[in-house]
Amino acid sequence: MSTRMDQNKQGVYIDLFSGCGGLSLGLGNAGWKGLFAVEKDSMAFNTFKHNLIDGKNSHFEWPSFLPKKETTIQELLEKYPQELTSLRGKVDLIAGGPPCQGFSLAGQRNEKDPRNKLSEEYIKMVELVSPKYILLENVRGFASSFKSATGKKAKLPYAMVVKKKLENLGYAIFHDFLCSADFGVPQKRTRFIMIGIKKEHLKNELLNPFEKLLTMRSDFLKSKGLPDTKIRVKDAINDLLIENNELSFHSGNELSGFKKLKYAPKAKPNAYLKLMRKGMGKKAPNSLRIARHKPDTIVKFKFIQKICKPGITLNDEMRALVGTRKQAITVLNPEQPSKTLTTLPDDLLHYSEPRILTVREMARIQSFPDRFEILGKYTTGGNRRTQECPRYTQVGNAVPPLLGEALGTLIMNIKE
């Protein structure tokens, strides 16, 4: 296994809970070299492998002991403890975002959700590999207290439990909330970010990393050719309007099957679109399939667009008028960054067309460039919803690559 590299020039990282690769894409763009990634879902891993391991933009030097397939941290710890231990001193960074459904403030928070405990597997990997730096991303609720069984006294936020365990492993821990919209992402996606630095690598003059991030934000945006103002939704997806593009056959029956956008690039793209289209020429991105809505659904969507305030979730009175029990329905405001994307495509409606977004539109809002191809089923339902990770879910769960790149640049600067 070849893992040793010139670490003065390039940092080596491992991505845990990698999903389809948003964080890894950002880290690679920031100059990091990947060693391997861990993702349990086959569809998400196939997207990751296609773009970041096998593709021309690969930046991974995969170890020979590890198959290039979906796996879990638990399986890794059980099968390869010696190989993982041998990586000590060869890995600069362990990054990742443990599954967060039980912590999310957007749904039913569940202290006993088994996925919450996956953070402990992350800690075990940190202990075994002992990287110089750690990066952990999660939802805001990760740092919010659960109520006790009696409801009287709040329990310690799980983020603080994780922080204490990492401090016991010899790391200085810094944490804050970051909004993706501050780093060129057309989305108001606020996440809890934790950065750890091994105490022997902590420089005396080092500022809090998040203070350093604020000072480098403008330069980061300038390096991407982006303005220092928020990127609007229409800056990201206005070229993907059905009304401005032809439709062609995608799949299924010619009469009742799916259609897709026949994409025509804009002659004069805005700054964000220019970044997303870099290297594509006239080539169309993938995942342009249009949802197949029933006529009464289209009527309902038009009514929602008529009564809503764009960018604001429908209130109880509006939901009663629509006749829906669905809690979170929002029509995008084209003049602002999007609300946080979720894994449910019907949470957000298009700002001018009576439909949900395409996977590619969601990917644009997440800051995935058009060259990044999303693979697998588009959606899934029933009991499979908690077991599979189709395209909409892959994109909704991802770390926005631009935020990942900003964080990767920050840690690379600390490393130097």
The CATH number covering residue 265 comes to 3.90.120
Per-residue pLDDT tens over the stretch 85-131: 999 999 999 999 887 544 444 444 344 545 456 778 899 999 999 99
The one catalytic residue among 20, 100, 308, 389: 100
Per residue in 12-36, pLDDT (tens digit) is 999 999 999 999 999 999 999 999 9
Same domain, 267 and 354: yes
| CA distance from start to end of the chain | 26
Q: What is the pLDDT of residue 369?
A: 98
Is 74 a domain residue?
A: yes
Whether 20 is catalytic: no
Spatial separation of the C-alpha atoms in residues 354 and 405, rounded to whole Å: 34
Q: Which residue has the higher pLDDT, 173 or 8?
A: 173
Q: Is 231 in contact with 337 (CB distance < 8 Å)?
A: yes
Mean pLDDT on 242-257: 81
The answer on 339 and 322 residing in a single domain is yes
The pLDDT value given to residue 415: 73
Stretch 151-170: mean pLDDT: 81
At 257 the pLDDT is 80
pLDDT at 118: 78
165 plus 304 within the same structural domain:
no
In a domain, 4, yes or no: no
How crowded is the C-beta side of 348, counted as CA atoms within 13 Å? 25
The β-bridge relationship of strands 133-139 and 93-96 is parallel
Number of structural domains in the chain: 2
- Residues 313 and 333 sit within 8 Å (Cβ to Cβ): no
- In Å, what is the CA distance from 231 to each residue of 74, 184, 221, 237? 40, 6, 11, 11
Report, as an integer, the average pLDDT of 321-332: 90
CB burial readout 246-257, b (16+ within 10 A) else e: eeeeeeeeeeee
- Residue 7 counted as domain residue: no
Asked whether residue 393 falls in the same domain as residue 408, the answer is no
Q: For the chain, give the percent of residues with pLDDT over 70.
A: 88
- With respect to residue 1, please indicate whether it lies within any of the assigned structural domains: no
For position 99, what pLDDT does the model report? 74
pLDDT tens sequence across 40-67: 999 999 999 999 999 887 999 999 999 9
What pLDDT score was predicted for residue 145?
A: 66
200 lies in some domain: yes
Q: 67-81, 241-255, 400-414 — which is least confidently predicted?
A: 241-255
φ, ψ for residue 254, nearest 5 deg: -55, -35
d(CA 367, CA 369): 6
Inside any domain, residue 193: yes
β partners of residue 84? none
How many other CB atoms are found less than 10 A from the CB of residue 155? 13
Verify that 36 and 95 share a domain, yes or no: yes
Residue predicted with more confidence, 208 or 234: 234
Q: What is the mean pLDDT of the chain?
A: 88
- Do 67 and 142 share a domain, yes or no? yes
Q: What is the pLDDT of residue 274?
A: 97
Residues 405, 393: one domain? no
Cβ atoms of residues 286 and 374 within 8 Å: yes
Chain CA centroid to CA 364, Å? 12
What domain range is 301 assigned to?
233-397
CA dist 413 and 108 (Å) reads 39
Whether residues 92 and 141 fall in one domain: yes
Over residues 302-309, mean pLDDT:
95
Most confident of 95-99, 258-262, 399-403: 399-403
Check whether residue 220 and residue 237 sit in a common domain: no
For residue range 341-365, list pLDDT tens digits in order.
998 889 999 999 999 999 999 999 9
In a domain, 78, yes or no: yes
Identify whether residues 131 and 57 lie together within a single domain.
yes
Same domain, 224 and 237: no
Question: What is the arithmetic mean of pLDDT over 263-269?
Answer: 89
Contact of 374 with 395, CB cutoff 8 Å: yes
Q: Within a domain: residue 277?
A: yes
CATH, residue 51: 3.40.50.150
Give the pLDDT confidence score for residue 146 in this predicted structure: 52
187 and 241 assigned to the same domain:
no
State the average pLDDT over residues 133-139. Answer: 93
